[in-house]
């Protein structure tokens, strides 16, 4: 059996809306599970068998075989923690595929040189896990959803598995985007890109008045939330200005052409260290098209190499976004430094968000799209969707935060000042990641489907 052998019946894939946890049936739960599982199978069907064992070039993640098995393992382990399963399916798999997602001191990233199980064995394991989970959803008395699943209900562990798998749909798609194209084949079920939208938007400053905001997801919202979403913080946000659009490839190319990657004064100390170590000269998913210095590029999407899309958002890491802000401060000659928005400022923009049906998220498209293609009435693009947006804030707990007993290490170890917050979701974000309460985080040197918009204070800074 091959990866994705049972998905041929689908002409294309999209994501169901996030599962409501009230007034639902077992069939609703099963449909969301099947939708989640199929998304993973479609994505991994793109990968040639040998590429499952190829570590990423940066050595900061495991080979894809880990990320294909890991979501299924988490289902089984968390269902056992919740008392819904009496024992393991495969104790060895449920140990070696349990942790190793981030380069944390407590997370086992020493396994890159290990002898991984065969792809056939992992496919068999996923099939066994799928059958086990399906049986539980259909028949387990404690998973009757008619009264809803709250955070202290064993069904919360099941839905946690759904949302966890959806996170890895996104992180795995980034790892696939980093693989050589010769190791991939574009799945016919993957959505197409928005390529016919012609635009050359002027990225003006948009004024936002001083606003009082409340961060934190109320406990009575009937959808799953990760533990860091709960708690509450009230802030009075000073008036600021924000770019109407995400920074586009065309705008970022000006930074590249101006020598932004050669000027250490524009970078933080750690950012310049990263740039030198990687010898980066332009964003990771730009592909040089012609001799060095010509500044002509192609664009790498997840499965293809396409013409450079000037109006699409630049996908960069935090260090690159921060250096661009410093360059803009210098070139604009303003007394108001250009910077990345805070979490609270990003929250202020949400009142301008258009209906969710007009976001580039949930795999409506198979890639990022032009920065002015998804506007709200006020003319701001991509408050949600298209690509994640880097924040100036490091990951932090809200007052009242409590680690959830089913997954104590999801958030707490990352409150370390070494993870930058990202907001808004991307084109491949689904489920909880597309919601207004999502609070996610990545190492500043990691790549995600992430870009940025810029902001500055309304008043001059002394």
Cα distances (angstroms) measured from residue 200 to each of 197, 353, 371, 373: 10, 22, 9, 11
- CA 303 vs. chain centroid, Å, equals 17
pTM, to two decimals: 0.95
- Residue indicated by tokens 């998220």: 361
Joined together, the tokens standing for residue 452 give 């940025």
What are the start-end ranges of the H helices in 178-317? 249-257, 269-278
**For the residues 317-330, what does the mean pLDDT come to?**
98
Architecture of domain 26-183: Up-down Bundle (1.20)
Same topology between domain 26-183 and domain 205-457: no
Report how far residue 238's alpha carbon sits from residue 345's, in angstroms, rounded to the nearest whole number: 9
Q: How confident is the model at residue 325, as a pLDDT?
A: 98
**Residue 453 reports pLDDT greater than 60:** yes
Q: How confident is the model at residue 106, as a pLDDT?
A: 44
Contact (Cβ atoms closer than 8 angstroms) between residue 201 and residue 248:
yes
The mean-pLDDT minimum among 175-184, 215-224, 451-460 falls in 451-460
> Collapsing DSSP states into helix, strand and coil, what is residue 41?
helix
Cα distances (angstroms) measured from residue 315 to each of 25, 77, 116, 153: 40, 34, 32, 39
Residues 6+ apart with CB under 8 A from 83: 142, 154
Domain ranges, ordered by start, for the chain: 26-183, 205-457
Q: How confident is the model at residue 2, as a pLDDT?
A: 77
pLDDT digits (tens, 9 = 90+) for 162-186: 999 999 999 999 999 999 999 999 9
- Residue indicated by tokens 């708690």: 231
What is the average pLDDT score of the chain? 93
Q: How confident is the model at residue 276, as a pLDDT?
A: 96
pLDDT digits (tens, 9 = 90+) for 91-131: 999 999 998 766 665 455 565 678 999 999 999 999 999 99
Report how far residue 35's alpha carbon sits from residue 50's, in angstroms, rounded to the nearest whole number: 27
**For the residues 310-339, what does the mean pLDDT come to?**
96
Going by pLDDT thresholds of 50, 70 and 90, the confidence category of residue 362 is: very high
Domain 205-457 sits in CATH 3.50.50.60: no
């Amino acid at each position: 059996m091959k990866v994705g052998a049972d998905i041929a019946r689908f002409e294309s894939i999209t994501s169901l809306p996030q599962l409501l946890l009230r007034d639902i049936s077992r069939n609703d739960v099963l449909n969301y599970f099947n939708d989640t599982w199929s998304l993973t199978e479609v994505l991994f069907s793109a990968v040639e068998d040998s590429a499952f064992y190829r570590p990423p070039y940066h050595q900061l993640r495991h080979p894809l075989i880990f990320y294909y098995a890991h979501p299924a393992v988490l289902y089984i382990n968390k269902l056992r923690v919740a008392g819904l399963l009496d024992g393991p399916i495969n104790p060895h798999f449920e140990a070696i595929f349990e942790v190793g997602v981030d380069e944390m001191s407590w997370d086992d990233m020493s396994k890159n040189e290990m002898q991984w199980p065969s792809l056939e064995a992992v496919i068999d394991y996923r099939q066994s896990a799928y059958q086990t989970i399906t049986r539980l959803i259909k028949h387990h008395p404690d998973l009757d959803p008619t009264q809803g699943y709250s955070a202290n209900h064993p069904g919360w562990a099941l839905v946690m598995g759904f949302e966890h798998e959806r996170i890895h749909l996104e992180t795995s798609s980034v790892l696939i985007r980093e693989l050589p194209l010769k190791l991939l084949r574009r799945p016919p079920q993957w959505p197409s890109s928005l390529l016919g939208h012609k635009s050359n938007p002027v990225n003006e400053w948009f004024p936002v008045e001083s606003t009082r905001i409340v961060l934190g997801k109320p406990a009575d919202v009937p959808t799953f939330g990760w533990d860091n979403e709960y708690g509450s913080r009230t802030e009075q946000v000073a008036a600021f200005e924000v770019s109407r659009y995400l920074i586009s490839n065309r705008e970022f190319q000006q930074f590249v052409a101006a020598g932004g990657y050669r000027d250490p004064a524009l970078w933080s100390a750690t950012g310049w260290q990263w740039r030198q170590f990687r010898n980066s000269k332009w964003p990771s998913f730009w592909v040089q098209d012609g001799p060095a210095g010509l500044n002509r590029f192609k664009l790498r999407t997840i499965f293809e190499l396409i013409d450079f899309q000037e109006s699409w958002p630049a996908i960069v890491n935090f260090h690159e976004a921060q250096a661009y802000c410093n360059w803009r401060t210098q070139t604009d000659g303003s007394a108001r430094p250009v910077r990345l928005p805070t979490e609270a400022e990003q929250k202020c923009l949400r009142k301008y968000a258009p209906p969710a049906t007009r976001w580039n998220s949930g795999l409506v498209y198979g890639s990022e799209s032009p920065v002015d293609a998804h506007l709200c009435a006020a003319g701001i693009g991509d408050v949600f969707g298209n690509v994640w947006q880097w924040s100036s804030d490091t990951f932090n707990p809200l007052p009242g935060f409590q680690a959830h007993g089913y997954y104590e290490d999801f958030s707490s170890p990352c409150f370390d000042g070494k993870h930058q917050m990202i907001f808004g979701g991307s084109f491949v974000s689904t489920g909880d990641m597309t919601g207004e309460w999502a609070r996610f985080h990545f190492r500043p040197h990691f790549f995600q489907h992430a870009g940025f918009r810029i902001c500055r204070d309304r008043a001059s800074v002394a």
